[in-house]
Structure 1
């Protein structure tokens, strides 16, 4: 962002390393990761497959703990999962036998169940569905709605917990191009309304530039680290059609492509 922020270290990652034990010995996934995320920023983690993007996201979520270093969110050390950090996965992870409303209500009850009445919990659930434009699908089950709608329910479930940090692991990666673009635009509107701090893993350069305030570019693994951080100083709100011909957008896009395909080399996906 162009303006200085009071909470410039809302998420603090200091000299983090992650090594996994495997049958073939130790595998160093990450090394020397140091990064600060300001409150309200949208950060994209991008890099080739196997560079540790999801591993870093899981560390911020508290799903795994670092081998070395420390992670802090909102002034507290991350020592495990918590409702202050909500996760949206590439797979929507909805319970198929429950309605969209019931899937969201599970999260709402988990966080607010001891503090609020049933009516208040239902109101929170309804507000989350309205935020992603799915009020009409409240009583449908996941098998009765499209893939894009399922992802919107997953986002609504995460936002219903009023997390301080929204973590997203390629949430639109399995969707077709048109649905993906639509959900990107909806996410821009949602984040503008909720003022959420977001960290998202993506393989999509255009997605990263369109959505982000910072693009964190990872080096190739093993022992991956942060190769470069690109600050995207495009004004908000952002319109994809307008930005398509914006020379600043093209500059940021070229910078990411240059890092990924020239300095890191193109890595072909296994057939």
Structure 2
């Protein structure tokens, strides 16, 4: 099966007051259709820079990124992004925030009733049917993230890019949203790229974990296959020796990189 995303010898430089800063140095890897790939590494290792490149929000200084064998030259509806900050418009309801994205992508392809049904369907996927007409100021942080995910899913993306979407949430809310993402991924077979600082989250959600070396000039340090059967239960995995072994491998890599800098 051909990769859906190809990152080929990508470097990214930024001009700063102190001179040129090399954030990413010659990064290459593939992402396969239907897989969940986590990017993990210490702060400043270029994870968000890399996600922005895949999203088409920025262009690489050198190298090339491909989506479905076409060069990524800008944002596109086949690649939807969910940021740590939900990025909802505060004066619009949950329904209207999703509607805005649907109108941009499907204008002229759906009539009004089809569009309404599709918006409500996607809010239902993230258990937000009860809050269709609430504004962001009237719902919790976890609910805002659910609406952000619904908005992204409503675009029917081939690739869902998640930039630490659960990082600011409490542990229980984070666990519920992680379970929602796993359920949605199984239902839709969406390709997911997830940035995380959480080792447990990376191992729980991923098919592979891509571990970045420390910046500047960050590279791909190691890619770890997560060979745990799906569907996954966090309760069952707590008693699974293979889960703990994989978790230790990621922790060992991160600890090595931290002590190398210290």
Q: Is structure 2 residue 183 aligned with structure 1 residue 221?
A: no
Could you tell me how far 1:267 is from its partner in structure 2? 7.5
- Structure 2 residue corresponding to 1:203, chosen from 197, 206, 214: 197
**Structure 2 residues without counterparts, runs of 5 or longer:** none
Q: Is structure 2 residue 186 aligned with structure 1 residue 167?
A: no
Change (3 A) 1:267 1:129: farther
Could you tell me how far 1:243 is from its partner in structure 2? 0.5
- Structure 1 residue corresponding to 2:92, chosen from 82, 95, 98: 98
- Structure 2 residue corresponding to 1:25, chosen from 19, 24, 27: 19
Q: Is structure 2 residue 41 aligned with structure 1 residue 47?
A: yes
How many angstroms apart in 1 are the aligned matches of 2:82 and 2:134? 20
How many angstroms apart in 2 are the aligned matches of 1:156 and 1:123? 13
Q: CA RMSD in A?
A: 1.2
Q: Which secondary structure does the structure 1 equivalent of 2:23 belong to?
A: strand
- Structure 1 residue corresponding to 2:69, chosen from 75, 95, 111: 75
- Structure 2 residue corresponding to 1:254, chosen from 243, 248, 252: 248
Contact kept, 8 Å, 2:213 with 2:257, in 1: the verdict is no
Who is 2:180 aligned against?
186
Who is 2:106 aligned against?
112
How many angstroms apart in 2 are the aligned matches of 1:243 and 1:74? 34
How many angstroms apart in 2 are the aligned matches of 1:267 and 1:141? 45
Provide Cα deviations, 1:217-266, integer angstroms capped at 9, x if missing partner.
Answer: 00000000000000001110000000011111011100000000124438
Which stretch of structure 1 is more off in the superposition, 150-159 or 120-129?
Answer: 120-129
**Structure 1 residues without counterparts, runs of 5 or longer:** 1-5
Provide Cα deviations, 1:172-219, integer angstroms capped at 9, x if missing partner.
Answer: 000011111111111111111111000010000000000000100000
How many angstroms apart in 2 are the aligned matches of 1:158 and 1:52? 23
Who is 1:11 aligned against?
5
How many angstroms apart in 2 are the aligned matches of 1:199 and 1:250? 22
Contact kept, 8 Å, 1:260 with 1:266, in 2: the verdict is no
Kindly tell me the number of residue pairs found equivalent between the two proteins.
262
Contact kept, 8 Å, 1:92 with 1:151, in 2: the verdict is yes
Provide Cα deviations, 1:137-175, integer angstroms capped at 9, x if missing partner.
Answer: 001111111110000000000000000100000000000
Contact kept, 8 Å, 1:48 with 1:267, in 2: the verdict is no
How many angstroms apart in 1 are the aligned matches of 2:126 and 2:215? 36
Shift >6 Å, 4+ stretches: none
Q: Is structure 2 residue 236 aligned with structure 1 residue 234?
A: no
Question: TM-score, normalized by length of structure 2?
Answer: 0.98
Could you tell me how far 1:59 is from its partner in structure 2? 0.2
Could you tell me how far 1:105 is from its partner in structure 2? 0.2
